[in-house]
Amino acid sequence: MAHDESGHFKQRLGLFDLTMIGFGSIFGSGWLFAAAHVADMAGPASIVSWLIGGVAVLLIGLVYCELGAALPLAGSVVRYPEQAHGSTAAFLTGAMTTIAFSSLISIEIVAARQYADAWIGGLSRNASGDPTLAGWLVQFAIMVVLYAINRRGIGSFALVNNIVTVFKFLVPTLVIVLLLAYMHPGNFSLHGFAPHGFQGVETAISAGGVIFAYLGLTPILSVASEVRNPQRTIPIALVASITLAMLVYLLLQTAFIGALPANLLTEGWNGIATRLALPFHDIAVQLGLSFLALMVVTDAILSPTGTGNIYMSATARVVYAWSKSGTFFPVFQRMNTQRGVPDKALLLTFGLALFWTLPFPSWQALIGVVSSALMLSYAMAPTSAAALRRSRPDLHRPFRLPYFNLLSPLAFAIASLIVIWTGWTTLCWLMPALLVLTAIFMAVARRGLSNAEWTRELRSSLWMPAYFVGLLALSWCGPFQGTGLLNHVWDDVAVVAFALVIHHWAAICGLQDQAEHAA
């Protein structure tokens, strides 16, 4: 039976609960802001950005379907690399995911506060959306409420999330229907369908908010040990939530482009995000749809808050799993057995989320960093699945991904491309930071291992620092704020070729004698 090793989590989540977690985590602040940002970068071709981003995340989601059904563990995103490649992989994945998840909580709450300012005023002190003292106190109060909801247990969390997510779906549907009634077909060819070429599409995917908007796979896996019939429920919920979100995002972007008043496009697509600071609200106001503007603001406060609630739950379970892997402080393994909640991990999550509201006050500030860190975390899924296929062929896999030898390397290559598209400005410090973390952890871990154990650990994890160095070099050579030695076509080709080599290397160096950890 698929339980987490602790046996303290409560299996209370069904298919509807899990699908709502998936859709609710994907559908947060992204729809509120990203439509204008991606149109700014790619023009009408931003629709292509949403399609490519959705397919990319769906491919990775299919790999996660196999892993999630076979190993339904709490905080699974950390446990898969541990099972496949050992403690170094678990540590790095835990660090990347915890930082990204906890900052996502603050990003969502900040987005809610920024939209609330359009309604009640006095919460933002400038056009960039930096908070006033009152605005920051509102953010703090919301986080306290989210902490209290999660502290009560998974049942209370799921009930609140289901109610919020249903509302989150209804308002964007209303936006789509009403804005499509104001469609101007000429907007899709005005100033060219792709005014910045395919490079604009690529930039919109990584830095414009497309991938950020889609990053909602792992909260489903974080609560895997609390799901009834996880072998069936997890794959269905993953695919359903991604597909539904992709459909809604495509329709929203289409409605946004088509409904833009002509006076906003006289100078081209550049600057649309500046002219429409609160995109769908501002369009509704210009079109005289005051009721729609009110509904957008209401949902804009509730929707990101609901997503923040999901990531509050998911981050706590990632911290728990990180601790359970033996690569983080053991105190965070402690559970409230009555409620089935990792109390210490939840408290740390609250503290981290609060911290991220201090130096990064605006929604856009962390998008590139979070997208890169989470996509690197997602990239661990194909490599973990490939290694486990070789090292543990007898592992029971209720969902077995067809055409795995094609789809797994493809998913890893796409994840690597999206990281590169984030740009040199982000990667020039993110990759060295990960390399330093790798060196520190391996130096500390070396002290407690025999020569044979150290050789085994080194063999299974050396591909990871090599991957980071390669991405750093390719970013430096590329056109995304790099030197431009490679144009965007040849840079993409080089990244794909490099990713295929790393995927093969990771697949053949899994822990060959790994014992079965999941009962």
In a domain, 150, yes or no: yes
Domain that holds residue 184: 15-416
Please say if the pLDDT value at position 518 is more than 50. Answer: no
String of DSSP letters for 175-199: HHHHHHTT--GGGGTTT-SSTTHHH
pLDDT digits (tens, 9 = 90+) for 428-458: 888 998 999 889 988 888 887 788 888 888 8
Choose between 107 and 435: higher pLDDT.
Answer: 435
In a domain, 425, yes or no: no
In a domain, 4, yes or no: no
Residue given tokens 């329709």 in the structure block: 251
In a domain, 479, yes or no: no
CA proximity to 357, closest of 158, 129, 171? 129
CB distance 249 to 28 below 8 Å: no
CA proximity to 233, closest of 395, 399, 118, 359? 399
Calpha distance 142→69 (Å, rounded) = 34
- Percentage with pLDDT > 90 across the chain: 27
CA angle 225, 314, 363 (to 5 degrees): 160
Please say if the pLDDT value at position 116 is more than 70. Answer: yes
Calpha distance 322→224 (Å, rounded) = 15
Number of domains in the chain: 1
**Confidence band (pLDDT; 50, 70, 90) for 418?**
confident
Q: For the chain, percent helix, then strand, then coil, each to nearest 5?
A: 75, 0, 25
Contacts of 343 (CB under 8 A, 6+ apart): 151, 334, 335, 336
CB distance 160 to 237 below 8 Å: no
pLDDT digits (tens, 9 = 90+) for 148-160: 999 988 888 888 8
**Confidence band (pLDDT; 50, 70, 90) for 336?**
confident
Please say if the pLDDT value at position 515 is more than 60. Answer: no
In a domain, 269, yes or no: yes
The 3 state secondary structure assigned to 82-149 is: HHHHCHHHHHHHHHHHHHHHHHHHHHHHHHHHHHHHHHHCCCECCCCCCECHHHHHHHHHHHHHHHHH
In a domain, 448, yes or no: no
3-class DSSP state of 341: strand
pLDDT digits (tens, 9 = 90+) for 205-215: 876 778 777 87
Domain CATH number, residue 171: 1.20.1740.10
pLDDT digits (tens, 9 = 90+) for 361-410: 444 545 667 767 878 888 899 999 999 999 999 988 988 999 999 999 99
Please say if the pLDDT value at position 225 is more than 60. Answer: yes
Instruction: Give pLDDT, residue 127.
Output: 67
pLDDT digits (tens, 9 = 90+) for 252-293: 999 999 998 878 888 778 888 778 877 888 899 888 998 998
- Average pLDDT rounded to a whole number, residues 46-69: 89
Report how far apart, in Å, the C-alpha atoms of 441 and of each of 69, 101, 234, 446, 457 are. 30, 21, 32, 8, 12
Burial (CB count <10 Å: 0-12, 13-18, 19+), residue 471: buried
pLDDT digits (tens, 9 = 90+) for 85-95: 988 898 998 88
CB distance 212 to 31 below 8 Å: no
Please say if the pLDDT value at position 353 is more than 80. Answer: yes
Instruction: Give pLDDT, residue 516.
Output: 41
Please say if the pLDDT value at position 517 is more than 60. Answer: no
The tokens describing 482, both together, are 């790099």
Calpha distance 149→143 (Å, rounded) = 10
- Average pLDDT rounded to a whole number, residues 60-81: 87
3-class DSSP state of 227: strand
pLDDT digits (tens, 9 = 90+) for 178-193: 999 998 888 888 777 8
Instruction: Give pLDDT, residue 8.
Output: 65
In a domain, 2, yes or no: no
CA angle 252, 258, 264 (to 5 degrees): 110
**Confidence band (pLDDT; 50, 70, 90) for 219?**
confident
**Confidence band (pLDDT; 50, 70, 90) for 337?**
low
3-class DSSP state of 336: strand
Which range is least confidently modeled, 129-138, 215-224, 250-259, 395-404?
A: 215-224
The number of residues in the chain equals: 519
Please say if the pLDDT value at position 356 is more than 70. Answer: yes
3-class DSSP state of 455: helix
- Average pLDDT rounded to a whole number, residues 403-422: 91
Residue 101: CB atoms within 10 Å: 32
In a domain, 453, yes or no: no
- Average pLDDT rounded to a whole number, residues 351-355: 90
Calpha distance 304→143 (Å, rounded) = 12
- Chain mean pLDDT for the chain: 85
CA angle 328, 329, 331 (to 5 degrees): 135
Calpha distance 361→518 (Å, rounded) = 41
> Contacts from 325-331 at CB under 8 Å and sequence distance 24+?
325/78, 325/79, 325/82, 325/87, 325/90, 325/91, 325/94, 326/87, 326/90, 327/82, 327/87, 327/90, 327/91, 327/94, 327/441, 328/91, 328/94
